[in-house]
Structure 1
Amino acid sequence: MRRSNRSVILTSIYRDGPLSRYELGHQTSLSAASVSNLVGELLDEGVVEEAGSVESDGGRPRVLLRVAPTFGYVVGAEVGETRVRVELFDLAMKVLATAVYPIETAKPAPELAVKYVLQGLNAVIGEVGISPGQVLGMGVAVAGVVEGPADAIVHAQTLGWDAVPVGAMLAAGTDIPIQVDNGANTLGQAEMWFGAGRGATDAVVALVGSGVGAALVTGGSSYRGTRSSAGEWGHTTIVYGGRKCRCGAEGCLEAYVGAEGVLERFQLANGGQPAPGGDEEAAFIGLLDSVGTSEVAAKVVEDTIGYLGAGFANLVNLFNPERIVLGGWSGLLLGERYLLQLREAVGKHALRQPYAQVSIELCELGRDAVAMGAATLPVLRLLREGGATPREPGLVARTR
C-alpha cells in the first residue's frame, strides 16, 4: 500500500507538477498526513525536490514540488528503417546527447540494429560524462509486434524479423535495464504525456513514416490486445486486391500512405522516374515540393491524403476517439501542408456523429518523438515503483 501511495504521489508530481502538498492531497485524495510523510521520504531520497513557491489564500506560501531532473537519466532508442537514433535525457525529458547511425539496407539484420543501439548508448553516456550507474534504464522502440516485456521477442514481417530475441540480445551487451516496445506505442506515450494527446482519455496516435502504425488509448490506458499486437493499423485492408504490401498481404493501408509505398506509386505513375532526392526522406520532400509543377506528383499526393483520410475514418468509426494525433516523419511532412484537406477527407468517409466528436491534430513533439517515447518506458517504471531504484554501488539494479 505504501509503495502504491508513493507511486500515486510521484506520478502526480511528474505528470502535473510542479505541485504543492495541498494540491497533491486534492488530486490523490490522500490525507494531508500521508502526503506530508510520503513527500518527506521522496525529498530525503532525492527523487523529488522543491521548485519555488506560490502564494496561498491567507497563509504561508505553498512550496512547489517536482521530480528532480538529475535524480537519474534515461535513454531512448529508435530502430527505424533508415537509421538508429539514440538519445539521453534527464528526468525533465531534456535531450542531453544524441547519436544517429544511418542504415543502408532496407532490411537490416537484428544484429546490426542491436550493435548500433548499444554503440549509441555508450556514445551518449560518454558524451555527457555520466556513469552507467546513473542511468535508470533504456527504452528501445522497434517496428512490428513486441512480446515481452522481459527478454522481448520481436516479430517484424516487413523487416524479415521472425521471433527475434531483441531484449536478450540487448541485455547481453549492457548492465543497464532494457525495455523494448513498438515504435507507435512509444510515440503514443510521449504524445499522451507531453504533446498533442495530453488531456485526452480516448485517443489514437498515428505513426506514418516508411511504415504505418498506431497507438490506441482508451479510458486513459494503452490498449494492447491479447498479445500486444493491437495497433497494426497500417496492415488493415484499404483496397481489396490492391497493391502488395511489404508484409506480404494485398491492399494494406501502409502500401498506400507509408513513405515507401507513396514513392513507389509516384515512380510507377511517372514512367519509372523516381522522385528527386537522395534518401527516402529527401525523395519524399522532393515529391511534395514538386506538387505545384508536376501533375503526377499532385495526383499521387491527393490520392495519399484520400487514402489516409479513409484510414482515419475507419479509426473514427471503430473506436470513436476524442482525438487523433498524426505523427511520424512523413505524416508530419504531409500534415504540415495538408491538414485541412486531411480533415475534409476524413469527414467524407466517417459517420457524421463520431466525426463531429473527434479532433485531428499534428504531433507536437516533432519527427524524432519516437526515441523520446522510448525513454519514457524506464520513467514509467520509476513512477510505478514509487521512485524505488535499488542500487549496488555505482550500478542501477536490474529490475526486468
Structure 2
Amino acid sequence: MAKRTRATATTSTLARVNQTAIIEALRESGALSRQQLGVKTGLSPATINRLTASLIDDGLIVPAGQEPSTGGRPSVLLRYAGSSRLVAAIQLRAETVTGILVDFDGKVVFRRSVTLGARQAGAEGGGPDGDGADGGGTGAAPDQDRQLRKVFRLFDDLIATADSMGTPCLAVGIAVPGVVQQPDGVVGTMPEFGWTGVPFGALLRERTDLPVIVENDANALAYGELHAGAGRGLSSLVALFLENGLGAGIVANGELHRGARAEAGEIGYLLMERSSLERSYDARGDLEDRIGSLALTQRARERGMPIPASGSLTAEDVFELARTGNTDAQELADEILDMVAIAVAALVIVLDPELVVVGSSFVGSSDMVIPGIQERLRGRIIRVPRIEPATHREDAVLLGAAELAAAEVNGFAYLAF
C-alpha cells in the first residue's frame, strides 16, 4: 500500500488562500479600504498591499472611490469586480433543463429553460425541436441523444448570449441528479433520463475551451450554501435535496466530501427497517422507494389524491395538499417527515454537522418541514442541529453550480479546518 503523505502549503498556494480571503471579504462586506481588509482577514499591511495589487492587475478587484476624510489622507476603497464577470450554470431536472448567466456578485442576468419531455422509447433525433442541428450524433440511444442535444443547444446559447452582452462567459457549472466521477464528469445512473455512464463532461468540453465543472445537484446545493448562503463561515454542513430522487451534499473541513467513489450522500439508499433486507435495489434505494417522486405519485394514485398536470407528485405537492385539509395528503406528509427525520438523524449522528440545509421540494414547505423534523428528533439524538431552508430557494442548486464555476475561474483556495 502506498504511504500517505501530509499535504503541504506552497508559497503560491498560501497566496491563493489569502487572495481568496480578500475576495470573500469584499463579496461579503462591499467596498473596503486596505486597512479594513487587514482587520477583516487578519493579514499584514504588506501582504494586503501586495495581494490587492496583484488582484487589481488581474481585474478581480477595482478602486471604488475613497473613504470620507477624517483629517488625514483618505483611504482608497476597493471592491470586487463581480458585475463585470459572468459564468453560466445549468441544472438538469426530470422534465426541464434550466440555464442562467450570473455575475460574480451572484446576480442572475439571463435565464432560459428548455423542456426535455418524458423519455420516449425509440424516439428519433432531429424533428421539430431541431435536435439534429448540432451535427453528428453522440453515439447514445435515440432518446438520450435527443435530450443531450437540447442540453448542448442551451449550453451553446448561454455562451453565445454572454458574448453578445459584451461580457464573455468565463466558465460553466452543470448540476445533474446523479453520481459524478471527478474530474472527468462521467455521470452514473440517472433513472429520470435513462442515462448510465454518460461522459457528460467530455462531451461538453468538446464544444468549448472554457472550464466546465459537472457536479451532483446535492453537492452543488451544499457548495452554494457554504460559500454564499446559510453556511457561510462554517466548516461543516449537510444539504438535503429531495426532488424526483433524494440525496445529500456533505461539507466536511470546509470542503465537499464526495467519498471514495463519489457516492457519499446517496441517502436514497439508506435502509429504513428490517424488511429492507428482504429485497435488493438497483436504480433507486429503499428510502427513495418510499419518498421519491415515483413512489409518492403511485401512493397518491392509490389513495385517490389529485395529481399535477405533469403526472408527477413531489413532496412539496403533498405538503401543499395537506395545507388544504386533504386527509390523505396529511397522512402522506407525516410519513415523508418520519422518513426524512430518520435520514437526518443518521447523517447527524455520523457527521455531526454545524448546519443542515433543506432544499428543492422542501423549500416552499420549510415552515412545515423544519419544525416537523426538529420535533421528531428532539430527545432522540444527542443534539438537534440548526436546520434552515436553502438561502436561494428554487435557484439554490443553480447558484451553487455558478459558485463552483466562479471558484474555478478565481482559483479559490481554502485552508483545511
Question: Which residue number corresponds to residue 51 of structure 1?
Answer: 64
The equivalent of 1:16 in structure 2 is: 25
**Cα distance in structure 1, aligned partners of 2:345 and 2:77:** 43
Q: Structure 1: which amino acid aligns with 2:355?
A: R
Once the two structures are superposed, residues 272-328 of structure 1 have per-residue CA deviations (whole angstroms, 9 ceiling, x without a partner) of x35332115777655434324432111111111111111111112111112111011
The reply on whether 1:363 has 2:372 as its aligned counterpart is no
Are 1:155 and 2:188 counterparts?
yes
Within 5 Å, which residues of 2 pair with 1:243-282?
Answer: 247-248=282-283, 252-268=286-302, 270=303, 273-279=304-310
Q: Note the 1:175-324 alignment, pairs <5 A.
A: 175-242=209-276, 247-248=282-283, 252-268=286-302, 270=303, 273-279=304-310, 287-291=318-322, 292-324=324-356
Higher relative contact order (CA 8 A, sep 6+): 1
Q: Distance in 1 between the 2:235 and 2:203 partners?
A: 35
For 1:15 and 1:139, the matched residues in 2 are separated by 20
Superposition pairs for residues 122-141 of structure 1, below 5 Å? 122-127=156-161, 130=164, 134-141=168-175
Q: Tell me which of 82, 93, 98 is aligned to 1:80.
A: 93
1:65-144 mapped onto 2 (5 Å cutoff): 65-105=78-118, 109-127=143-161, 130=164, 134-144=168-178
Structure 1 residues 38-63: Cα deviation after superposition (integer angstroms, max 9, x where no partner): 21122133221123555698854443
Deviations 1:71-98 (A, max 9, x none): 4310111111121111111111210111
Could you tell me how far 1:254 is from its partner in structure 2? Answer: 1.8
Once the 2 structures are TM-superposed, how far is the Cα of residue 140 of structure 1 from its aligned partner?
0.7
SS of 1:241's partner is: helix
What is the rounded CA distance, in whole Å, between the counterparts of 2:185 and 2:43 in structure 1?
A: 36
What residue is the counterpart of 1:396 in the other structure?
none
- Does structure 1 retain, via aligned residues, the 8 Å contact 2:243–2:314? no
1:253 to 1:154, Cα distance in 2 relative to 1, 3 A: same
Q: Secondary structure at the match of 1:207?
A: strand
**Residue 392 of structure 1 corresponds to which residue in structure 2?**
none
Aligned counterpart for 1:341 among listed residues 355, 372, 379: 372
Q: Which residue in the other structure is 2:16 paired with?
A: 7
Cα distance in 2, alignment partners of residues 195 and 280 from structure 1: 33
AA paired with 2:402? A
Q: Number of residue pairs matched? A: 376
Consecutive unaligned residues in structure 1, runs of 5 or more = 387-400
Confirm or deny: 8 A CA contact 2:315 2:333 kept in the other structure: no
Query: CA contact under 8 A between 2:293 and 2:313: conserved in structure 1?
Result: no
- Looking at structure 2, the residues matched to 122 and 249 of structure 1 have their Cα atoms a distance apart, in angstroms, of 32
Distance 2:150 2:280 in 1: 27
Q: Distance in 2 between matches of 1:233 and 1:65?
A: 44
Q: Is residue 406 of structure 2 the alignment partner of residue 379 of structure 1?
A: yes
Inter-partner Cα distance in structure 2 for 1:343 and 1:89: 35
CA distance in 2: counterparts of 1:87 and 1:14, whole angstroms: 23
The answer on whether the counterparts of 2:244 and 2:314 sit within 8 Å (CA) in structure 1 is no
CA deviation profile, 1:206-230 (whole Å, cap 9, x unmatched): 1111111111112222212113221
Shift of 1:127: 4.3
| Aligned-pair identity (%) | 27
1:224–1:275 distance in 2 versus 1, CA, 3 Å: same
Q: Would you say the 8 A contact 1:263–1:274 is kept in 2? A: no
Quick check: 1:275–1:287 contact (8 Å CA) kept in 2? no
SS in 2 for 1:227: coil
Distance 2:260 2:358 in 1: 25
Q: Is the 8 A contact 1:200 1:220 kept in 2?
A: yes
Q: Take 1:359 and 1:215, find their aligned partners in 2: how far apart are those partners?
A: 16
Q: Structure 1 residues 58, 127: closer, same or farther in 2, change over 3 A? A: same
From the two aligned structures, give the one with the greater strand fraction.
1
Query: 1:186 deviation in Å?
Result: 0.6
- CA–CA distance in 2 between the matches of 1:231 and 1:264? 25
Partners of 1:81 and 1:106 within 8 A in 2: no
Provide the C-alpha distance between the structure 2 equivalents of 1:249 and 1:382, rounded to a whole number of angstroms: 35
Distance 1:158 1:241, change over 3 A: farther
Which residue number in structure 2 is paired with residue 397 of structure 1? none
User: What is the alpha-carbon distance in structure 2 between the residues aligned to residue 178 and residue 134 of structure 1?
Assistant: 15
1:241 Cα deviation from its structure 2 partner? 3.2
Structure 1 counterpart of 2:6 = none
State the SS of the aligned residue for 1:311. Answer: helix
TM-score by length of 2: 0.80
Q: What is the CA–CA distance in structure 2 between the aligned matches of 1:372 and 1:198, rounded to whole Å?
A: 14
Looking at structure 1, the residues matched to 296 and 166 of structure 2 have their Cα atoms a distance apart, in angstroms, of 42
Please give the root-mean-square deviation of Cα atoms over the aligned residues, in Å: 3.0
